[in-house]
A and B are shown apart, each in its own frame.
Chain A
Amino acid sequence: MAEAGANNRRGRRVLRAFLRNRLAVVGTLLLIVVIGSAALAPTVAPYDPLKMDLVNAYSPPGSEGHLLGTDNFGRDILSRLIHGSRISLLIGFVVVSIAATVGTVLGLLAGYLGGWFDELVMRAVEIFYAFPFLVLAIAVIAVFGPSIFNVMWVLGLVSWPLYARLVRAQVLALHDLEYVEAARASGMSKWRVMFKHVLPNVLTPVIVTATFGIPEAILASAALGFLGLGVQPPTPEWGAMISEGKDFIRRAPNLITWPGVAIMVVVLGFNFVGDGLRDALDPKGKKG
């Protein structure tokens, strides 16, 4: 009972600290707009992102009906950006979900069980850490073919070590804490202790890391898209749009400008929110 109350109070305190942070609020608003327009893309976007209009190709921003102009196929850039946000956000969320889940579970088990399992997990972590992540991603996609699905699990594969390490360290730190010892002494099974007491405390840094993981995944998938290894054209993906646009640098540099700005805005949004979360959750944390 008291515990629940304490949690509520803590939650409210965190929320207030978060809202006091101006940048965090800005970030949240940005994300609401972006995620909202992504979810409602078919309604919000003025045109079909795949519809070609060769007569009006290369229109500059501000042309009639095309706020951001059109690309080399005459497709509306704004619509493509909005539909592209769906892809980027989807990839970001899925990748982080995979990585966080797999990493947390493995880290939890490794830290708690120790022994050969721990050794095995740490070896795996080292191997994946030492692999230059982009090279691994490129190799895997070359094997399995470029598709949104493959991009997602490859990036997930590359990111899980971070969470595993984090969680394992937390587990090891908490292992000797009094209340954990008390719980064990009271006869609770290993697993229940792990899930009821250890896991909740481990979740906080995981959530913060995950919030930063999403924009990282978005940037990574854009890089893969830029190299032609992500979602294939004509599906609009921001990185791929930049890659296609660079062939027309002379004629219409705005083909690469807008997707880049879009990426920046989304990443900034998540970073602001992540900073805000981290500062709010950790009162001893660094200010600003």
Chain B
Amino acid sequence: MLSYTLRRLVAMLPVLLGIAFITFALVSFAPGDAIRLMLGSESANVANVERLRHELGLDLPWYEQFWRYLGGLVKGDLGTSITSRQPVSHLIFQRFPNTLVLTTASLLVAILIALPLGVLAAAQHNRPGDYLGMGFAMLGVAMPNFWLGLILLIVFGLELRWLPIRGIGSLDKGVLDYASHLVLPAVTLGTSLAAILTRLTRNTMLDVLGEDYVRTARAKGAKPNRVLFRHALRNALLPVVTAAGMQFGGLLGGAVVIETVFSWPGLGLLSINAIRQRDLPMMQGSVLVFATCFMLVTLLTDLLYTAINPRIRYG
């Protein structure tokens, strides 16, 4: 197991290198650069801007810049943001936890909705409970998440004024304040995943319920409820957990849009701004952090899969 984990970790490196290179190439060849944006301002101090260009090494040929960047990466230095002239790692690691919180909360919301709903649907196969579950499953994946977010914002934030309409709460003001800011974004982001997981739970449970040993248990007189919950659920858990882990990438991507709708100060918003301002180091940093996070979660899911399912072993 350990050697497998190590091998996976090592395999991540060339992928990250590839990502860094692609991002670098993209922004380097993009029309418009951060320095030009500065020069476009009517009151700009041209001499100082040009000096800044030189200080940041932006007048070097692209391969030299990339080499410099790699050198910094090895030392853990993600460079300096062009627009704010603050260290990129500083800015990213202040914002990144917010995205993590959002995605984790969404994951939890998704699981909390999907499991009961999926079980209900399976239990009431082809009856109202099933229609409810499947209906939610269908609608949940069909709704654009930013649209759902806007609707929830209007209803709960503007009309009912139950929840705040923007941003992140502060733990200083109490857990309740923090949670109230987190509810809408997490529910929005978690809904489509909940829809997918609901369907998965339901189908897996129906499968398991149709299996021999379950029918045997029933024949022996075990009550239906216990049958459901003990055997079926435990077996359904595995594919659901795996699916949740695999969908994590989708959550990360969706976080970008949701952060925009709810003014959630996470890595997604940071990346979008960085791109708009052509802030190359900032963009590279956020993309690399995103990718690393995603790959680590995938690895974790795979390891978890092994832990839960003793029949699979990775050599």
Contact = CB atoms under 8 A, between A and B. Distances in A.
Contacts, number: 129
A117 B93 CA distance: 38
Chain A: interface residue count, which band?
35 or more
Do most interface residues of chain B lie in helix, strand or loop, or is the interface mixed?
helix
Contact of A249 (B18, B22, B154): B154
A227 B269 CA distance: 11
Given A138-B271, A142-B275, A246-B150, A132 B294 contact: yes
B18 A143 contact: no
Interface stretch (B60-68, B72-80, B140-148, B173-181): B140-148
Interface in B274-295: 275-276, 278, 283, 286-287, 290-291, 294-295
Nearest to A218: B144
A142 B276 contact: yes
A242 B146 contact: yes
Interface string B119-133: 000000110001000
Interface in B215-257: 249, 252-254, 256-257
A271 interface: yes
A288 interface: yes
B291 A132 contact: yes
B150 A263 contact: no
Interface string A213-257: 001000100110011000000000001001000100110010011
A227 B18 contact: no
A249 B291 CA distance: 35
Interface stretch (B25-33, B47-55, B82-90, B307-315): B25-33
Contacts of A226: 144, 146, 257
Contact of A127 (B22, B134, B154): B22
Contact of B271 (A123, A135, A222, A287): A135
A286 B134 CA distance: 14
A134 interface: yes
Nearest to B276: A142
A107 B158 CA distance: 50
A239 B26 contact: no
Interface in A254-286: 256-257, 259-260, 263-264, 267-268, 271-272, 286
Interface string A26-57: 00000000000000000000000000000000
Contacts of A263: 142-144, 147
Interface residues of B, number: 53
A242 B147 CA distance: 7
Contact of B147 (A133, A139, A256): A256
B207 interface: yes
A227 B272 contact: yes
Contacts of B142: 215, 263-264, 267-268, 271
Nearest to B290: A132
A131 B253 CA distance: 9
A92 B170 CA distance: 41
Contact of B19 (A127, A219, A267, A272): A127
B150 A134 contact: no
Given A139-B23, A219-B144, A253 B291 contact: no
B150 A242 contact: yes
Interface in B13-41: 14-16, 18-19, 22-23, 26-27, 29-31
A236 to B, nearest CB: 16
B141 A267 contact: yes
A133 B275 CA distance: 15
Contacts of B260: 227
Contacts of B134: 288
B207 A139 contact: no
Given A138-B272, A143-B27, A264-B143, A223 B257 contact: yes
A126 interface: yes
A286 B199 CA distance: 11
Contacts of B145: 223
B138 interface: yes
A123 B256 contact: no
B234 to A, nearest CB: 19
A139 B291 CA distance: 14
A42 to B, nearest CB: 26
A256 B27 CA distance: 33
A223 B250 CA distance: 13
Contacts of A215: 142
Contact of B249 (A129, A253, A260): A129
Most B CB atoms within 10 A — which of A123, A139, A253, A257?
A139
B114 interface: no
A140 interface: yes
9 contacts: A127-B18, A133-B253, A140-B26, A223-B257, A226-B146, A264-B139, A288-B125, A288-B130, A288-B203
Interface of A: 123, 126-127, 129-136, 138-140, 142-143, 145, 215, 219, 222-223, 226-227, 239, 242, 246, 249-250, 253, 256-257, 259-260, 263-264, 267-268, 271-272, 286-288
In the A-B complex, the 8 residue pairs with the closest CB atoms: A260-B147, A143-B30, A267-B142, A134-B253, A127-B18, A130-B291, A264-B142, A142-B275
Given A134-B254, A264-B143, 10 more contacts: A123-B14, A131-B290, A132-B291, A134-B257, A135-B256, A143-B27, A223-B144, A242-B150, A260-B143, A260-B147
